[in-house]
Structures are given as C-alpha cells and as structure tokens.
Structure 1
Amino acid sequence: MAELLPLDPDHLLTSTRSVRKRLDFERPVPLEVIRESLEVALQAPSGSNRQGWHWIVLTDPERRRVVSEYYARAFDRYRNSPIYAAGNPTGDADRDATQQRVATSAEYLAEHMAEAPVLVIGAIEASAELSSSNQAGLWGSLLPAAWSLQLALRARGLGSAWTTLHLSYEKEIAEYLGIPPEVRQGVLLPVAYTKGTTFKPAPRQPLDEVLHVDTW
C-alpha cells in the first residue's frame, strides 16, 4: 500500500490543485498506485448505484503520445478562441494575474502532456442519457468518482489536472483506443508524482457572492 501524506480532510480537499508545471515527468508511477487510488474512487456515489463508469489507464508511450496530440490540437483551437481566459482581462489585477498564470501553465501542459507517465480517461455508459436536454444525472454519476480519484492521488503524493479539451476529438480517440460507442468520455487526467507535496488553497471569490439562502 502506498504511503499516505499526513493531510487532514479539509486540507486535502482545499489543497488538491490542478497540477501542471509541478508534475514530475521523470519519476515512474507504479500501476499499483493507480489501481489503489481507483479503488478509493469507486466508492463515489452514482445514480441508482449503477456504477456505469469505466477507466482507461494509458501507460504505453505511443498511446499517450497519440492522445496528447489530439489534446494539443484542441488546445490550439481553444487558445485562439474568444473564451480563452488569458485574453479576457476582468479589470481585477489580482484575478487577471492569476488567470495569466493559469493560462501559462495550461500551455505548458498542452506541450508536455505526453511526458506524463500515466493518462487516465474517465468514461461512462451513456448512450440513452445523451438525448436528454439536461445531462446532470449522467455526468453526476462519473465526475464525483473522477474527483475522488484526484483526491486519492494527492493523498499518495501524486498530482493530476482536470482536462476536457480532448473531447473535441472524442470519436477519434475512442476509435484509436477501442472504446465502444455507448461509452462516453468525461475527463482526461494526466497523472504524475509532484515536485514537492506542499500545495495550498487557491484564491476564490467570497462565498457571499455565490451563496443564495432560501431564494435567489
């Protein structure tokens, strides 16, 4: 069993970051650590306890390279889009500086994702639900488990970054990896040990700006 970091629950929850520049691409990640973390993730809730999730773990360098190239292609399109965070200053100097750092680290990840020793794709059996106008019930049965995986990895000294840009090429990636058509991808996590394990809570907007009690 992998050694766990001495983190209390609140600190684990508030210091689990999307790690990009501090991923250690040189240190191998044993598959057993990924399996152990996924065992934790499988305790997450799912609608009607159906547990329709699937986890595609990529350790082969060539498969990681191909998937990462699709991600990089999608990132190039995103970087040139109007919604790209770094290109939309808010007028808040602190927030804009944070967004610029996020953008820089996102660009770094797009350039280096193939070097991550492990890529994990979280997916779910979804053919029927995707016709619904509101898919919260579907993705609510996958995303909590993916977040639990990130927490379990963090507790074991590994980092990950929540990404979804590869979904622009979901069909191509599914065909390449042999994922059945009725299984839809929801998240791609590059995984590696981190350079240092000291992470802290990130700045967030005040709670009262987003809290609504009893009515809007």
Structure 2
Amino acid sequence: MSIDTKSVDYVLSTTRAVRRKLDLDRPVEPEVVGTCLRLSTYAPSPGNQQMWRWVVVRDAGRRARLGELFREVGRSYLAGVRADLGAAVEYPSVRRMVDSVQHLIDVIDRVPVFVIPCVQGPRPSGSVEAASFYGGIYPAVWSFQLALRSRGLGTVLTTLHLQREAEAAEILCLPSDVTQVGLLPVAYTTTTDFRPPARLPLEKVAFLDTWGNALT
C-alpha cells in the first residue's frame, strides 16, 4: 500500500497544543473519541503490556469538579510564572503562551470532553522503572492527539490537576493501583489552518555519533 507521506507529514507538523482555539459550544460525538482512542491503542508499550487506561469524562458535574481543581492549581501556577518572569512576561512570545494557558484555565469546565490518560499498575520508585512506567503511555497519548487532529479536533496534554491527584481520583472513582498522567481537554477546533510551530534548526538538536558532531 502506498502511503501519502505529504498528508502524514502535514498532520505530524501541525498537531499543536490547542488551548485558545477549542470550540466550547460544539458537541463532540462519542464515536469520534472512541475511534481516536482505539487508534491510540495500537501504539507500542513497554513489554507490550498495554497498561494504558483512559477515562473519558462527559458528565458536566464531574467536568466542573475537575475543572475547579485545575483552575485553582492553574491560577497559583501562573501567578508564580509571572513573578518569576518579571518584565520578560511582556515579551510577545512569552505573553502569548501565558495568555493561552490563562485562557484554558478560565474556560476549562466548558470544554465538552476531558480524557484522562492513566497507567495501571504500582507506581515505581526507581528512575529507570519510572521512565518505562510513565514513558510507556506517551506514544499512545500522541497517537490520540494525531488522530484528533486529522478529524478536526484539538487538545493539549496538561498536568496541572495532578497537584490535586487524590481529589481527582475520588471524582473519577479510580482504583488505588491506577495512576493519572494528565488531562486532555478535547474539542473541535475553531480553525483547521494550523501551521508548523517555530523550532530550533535540526543541527542544534541532532548529532552524528558523538555529542556536538554535526548530523549533516
């Protein structure tokens, strides 16, 4: 089968962290989220154990309760960011980022669907074990985000509510051996015309054989 690499490359390069351009009023069909999650389960996992678990939150009451945790932590977080940055917060690129996060904090409970990625199993203590435990779910999360993007939806992987993890677990009725790794607010986007973000040139981040040796 011939793969349309141009379309694949377009989705890979334009799947952005979407906060301000989420359509808060358009419903998200259950089957769309289901399809994207099903595609995510084809991602590789450590030892092929497939320990990712997903909680899809549609209930307005639970979204409101989770949103309040998110908002309380987020406000404190941004206050600290603004204090640390000082005058630098007024730089255009920094201000856009801070304003984007602030917007999501302000509207989080209006996002039609939350998806909570989780890992089932005991929380590891060692760094190597932790790398496998947490790192094992991120390919699936990214696959989910790509699948959403290709269908006109957007999201961003957030972790703010994890500072209130126990309270969130109670809201979600999670078993004690399930660990949350984030919260994905899911909605259709108000535009589909996303462009690739600015990134460092490849020669600054990729090396050949030894650190610092130019790749090309």
Give the alignment's TM-score, normalised by structure 2: 0.89
- Which residue identity lines up with residue 49 of structure 2 in the other structure? R
Among residues 106, 125, 128, which one is paired with 1:131 in the alignment? 125
Separation (CA, whole Å) in 2 of partners of 1:84 and 1:106: 15
CA RMSD of aligned residues (A): 2.0
User: Which of 82, 88, 102 is residue 107 of structure 1 equivalent to?
Assistant: 102
Name structure 2 gaps, 5 residues minimum.
1-5, 212-216
The amino acid across from 2:98 in the alignment is A
By how many angstroms is 1:73 displaced?
A: 1.0
> What is the distance in 2 between the residues matched to 1:197 and 1:116?
18
Residues 91-123 of structure 1, C-alpha deviations (whole Å, 9 max, x = no match): xx9xx4222111101100001011011000000
| % identity of equivalent residues | 40
Report the equivalent of 2:196.
201
1:5-46 CA-to-partner distances (Å, cap 9, x unmatched) read: xx7011101100111111101100011110010011000010
Deviation at residue 150 of structure 1 after TM alignment: 0.5
Q: Does 1:160 align with 2:155?
A: yes
**Which residue of structure 1 aligns with residue 17 of structure 2?**
18
Give the C-alpha shift of residue 88 in structure 1. 7.5
The 1:8–1:68 alpha-carbon spacing in structure 2 relative to 1, beyond 3 Å, is same
Amino acid at match of 1:32: E
SS in 2 for 1:109: helix
- Structure 1: unaligned runs, 5 residues or longer: 1-6
CA contact (8 A) 1:57 1:119 kept: yes
Aligned length: 205
Q: Is 2:144 aligned against 1:145?
A: no
Q: 1:54 aligns to what SS in structure 2?
A: strand
Measured at CA, do residues 50 and 68 of structure 1 come closer, stay the same or move farther in structure 2, by a change above 3 Å? same
Q: Provide Cα deviations, 1:30-83, integer angstroms capped at 9, x if missing partner.
A: 111100100110000100000011101000111001101111111112112258
Distance in 2 of aligned mates of 1:51 and 1:84: 41
Relative distance call for 1:141 and 1:65 in structure 2 (3 A) is same
Q: 1:152 is paired with a residue of what secondary structure? A: helix
Q: Detail structure 1 runs of 4+ shifted over 4 Å in the superposition.
A: 82-88
Is it true that 1:37 corresponds to 2:32 in the alignment? no
More helix by share: 2
Structure 1 residue 86, shift from structure 2 partner: 5.6
Query: Aligned letter for 1:79?
Result: L
Between the aligned partners of 1:162 and 1:88, the Cα distance in structure 2 is: 28
What aligned pairs does 1:49-64 form with structure 2 within 5 A after superposition?
49-64=48-63
Distance change in 2, residues 1:111/1:143 (3 Å):
same
Q: How does 1:89-104 map to 2 (within 5 A)?
A: 89=88, 96-104=91-99
1:70 partner SS: helix
Letter in 1 for 2:139: P
Indicate the SS of the match to 2:182. Answer: strand
Instruction: Name the stretch that deviates more: 68-77 or 103-112.
Output: 68-77
Is the contact between residue 85 and residue 103 of structure 1 (CA under 8 Å) also seen in structure 2? Answer: no
Q: Is the 8 A contact 1:159 1:193 kept in 2?
A: yes
